[in-house]
Amino acid sequence: MKKVLIISTSPRKAGNSQVLADAFMKGAKDANNLVEKVELYDKKINFCLGCLACQKSGQCVIKDDANAIVEKMRDADVLVFATPIYYYAMSGQMKTMLDRSNPLYESDYKFTDIYLLASAADEQDEAVEGAVKGLLGWISCFPRTHLAGVVFGGGVDEVGKIEGHPALDKAYELGKAI
């Protein structure tokens, strides 16, 4: 049994990337993993100050919801990021959360497998490449980690449009394979 943390970064409640996250979560739970999903749409997460105080103390000086999420990240075996694709990149909420996870850099983090779930209005597979590249940059700072899988649901713009999309089955199967 692995401890799986899904971070859903959509600013929309029940957005298409959140539905992908739910499919992944169902698969991971069906495989008897311990799964928690954190949704950022209702969290207060400020931008990183770049002060690097966290490199000395292991804690961010900003007191907001990011600190609790970073602690959950540290203790998870598997991290899953779900994001809508905006302008061919990850959401600003996801990028801000990655930046705020800087206290993990020098820590004894547990995660090794990282997954990306993404949805976009553009249906071309290339639409997710910017988000993948950005996440790979973050992953490169954590030597024991790797990108274990990507699911992309393209051609979905309005909330709920992802229903019935083949990406949901892929997300479920990827979660179940953990």
Residues 65-101: pLDDT tens digits? 999 999 999 999 999 999 999 999 999 999 999 999 9
Strand stretches in the chain, DSSP E: 3-8, 34-39, 78-84, 113-120, 146-154
Q: For residue 110, give its domain range.
A: 3-176
Question: What is the C-alpha separation between 152 and 166, in angstroms, rounded?
Answer: 9
Q: What is the pTM of this model?
A: 0.96
CATH number where 87 lies: 3.40.50.360
Q: What's the pLDDT tens digit per position in 160-170?
A: 899 999 999 99
Terminal-to-terminal C-alpha distance of the chain:
9
Backbone angles phi, psi at 114, to 5 degrees: -120, 135
Asked if residue 106 has pLDDT above 90, the reply is no
Q: Please list, in sequence order, all residues whose beta carbon lies within 8 angstroms of the beta carbon of residue 5, skipping any fewer than 6 positions away.
A: 35, 36, 37, 38, 72, 73, 76, 78, 79, 80, 111
Q: What's the pLDDT tens digit per position in 68-78?
A: 999 999 999 99
Average pLDDT in the 17-22 region?
97
Structural domains counted in the chain: 1
Average pLDDT, the chain: 96
Average pLDDT in the 150-172 region?
95
Q: Which residues pair with 47 in a beta bridge?
A: none
Mapping DSSP to helix (H, G, I), strand (E, B) and coil, where does residue 122 land?
coil
Q: What's the pLDDT tens digit per position in 34-72?
A: 999 999 999 999 999 999 999 889 899 999 999 999 999
Q: 143 with 3: CB under 8 angstroms?
A: no
